[in-house]
C-alpha cells in the first residue's frame, strides 16, 4: 500500500506541475500568436485549482516522508541513513531486494520510453504554436511511466 501511495503522490506532483506550466505556456502562445498577427487580442483566466492541487500534493508528500522518517527513527533495528523514501520497510531485506529489482526494470523501461518521447518531438516541429500541451505532458509522462513500471514490478515481485 505504501508503494501505491508513493507512486500516486509522485505522479500527481508531476501532473500538477505540468498543468501549471501548461497555463503559463498557453499565455505565451497567445502572445506569440498576437505578435505574428494571427490573433488581435485574447483574454486570460488562470484557474487556481492547479496551484492548489500542487500545494496539497506537496504537503501530503512531505507529511508522508516525515512520518516514515519518524517510524524509521523509532525502529531500533533500522539505520536512519538507510532511509530513502516511504515506499518500503528498510528493516525487511526481502523488500530491499524487491525494490532493487523493480528499480532496474523501471530504469530499463524509462530509457526506452524517453528515447521514444524525445524522438517524437521531431514529428511536431511547430509544437509550441499548434500543440503547446504535447511537449509538456509528454515530458511529464517520462517519470510517470517509470513510476508505474516500478509499482507494477514491485507488486509482481512482492506476491511471488
Model confidence over 20-29: pLDDT tens digits?
Answer: 888 888 888 8
| Residues 6 and 64 sit within 8 Å (Cβ to Cβ) | yes
| Residues 102 and 17 sit within 8 Å (Cβ to Cβ) | no
Domains held by the chain: number: 1
Instruction: Decide if pLDDT at 12 tops 70.
Output: yes
| Residues 139 and 117 sit within 8 Å (Cβ to Cβ) | yes
**Is residue 69 very low, low, confident or very high in pLDDT (cuts 50, 70, 90)?**
confident
User: Which ranges of 2-132 would DSSP assign to H, the alpha helix?
Assistant: 2-35, 49-74, 93-120, 127-130
With a pLDDT cut of 70, the percent of the chain lying above it is 84
Task: Give the DSSP H or E segment for 112.
Answer: helix 93-120
The pLDDT, as a whole number, for residue 80 is 57
The pLDDT, as a whole number, for residue 78 is 60
Choose the weakest-confidence range: 48-52, 63-67, 143-147: 63-67
Q: What is the DSSP letter of 88?
A: S
The pLDDT, as a whole number, for residue 88 is 55
**Is residue 125 very low, low, confident or very high in pLDDT (cuts 50, 70, 90)?**
low
The pLDDT, as a whole number, for residue 127 is 59
Range of the domain at 86: 2-158
Predicted TM-score (pTM) of the model is 0.73
With a pLDDT cut of 90, the percent of the chain lying above it is 16
pLDDT digits (tens, 9 = 90+) for 75-113: 666 665 555 555 555 556 777 788 888 888 999 999 999
The pLDDT, as a whole number, for residue 148 is 93
Amino acid at each position: 500500500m505504501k508503494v501505491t501511495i508513493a507512486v500516486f503522490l509522485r505522479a500527481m506532483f508531476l501532473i500538477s506541475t505540468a498543468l501549471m506550466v501548461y497555463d503559463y505556456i498557453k499565455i505565451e502562445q497567445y502572445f506569440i500568436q498576437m505578435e505574428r498577427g494571427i490573433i488581435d487580442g485574447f483574454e486570460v483566466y488562470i484557474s487556481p485549482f492547479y496551484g492548489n492541487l500542487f500545494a496539497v500534493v506537496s504537503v501530503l508528500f512531505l507529511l508522508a516522508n516525515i512520518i516514515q522518517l519518524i517510524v524509521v527513527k523509532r525502529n531500533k533495528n533500522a539505520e536512519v541513513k538507510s532511509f530513502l523514501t516511504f515506499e518500503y520497510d528498510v528493516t525487511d531485506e526481502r523488500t530491499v531486494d524487491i525494490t532493487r529489482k523493480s528499480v532496474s526494470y523501471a530504469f530499463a523501461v524509462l530509457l526506452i520510453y524517453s528515447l521514444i518521447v524525445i524522438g517524437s518531438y521531431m514529428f511536431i516541429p511547430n509544437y509550441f504554436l499548434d500543440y503547446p500541451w504535447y511537449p509538456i505532458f509528454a515530458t511529464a509522462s517520462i517519470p510517470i511511466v517509470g513510476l508505474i513500471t516500478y509499482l507494477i514490478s514491485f507488486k509482481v515481485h512482492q506476491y511471488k
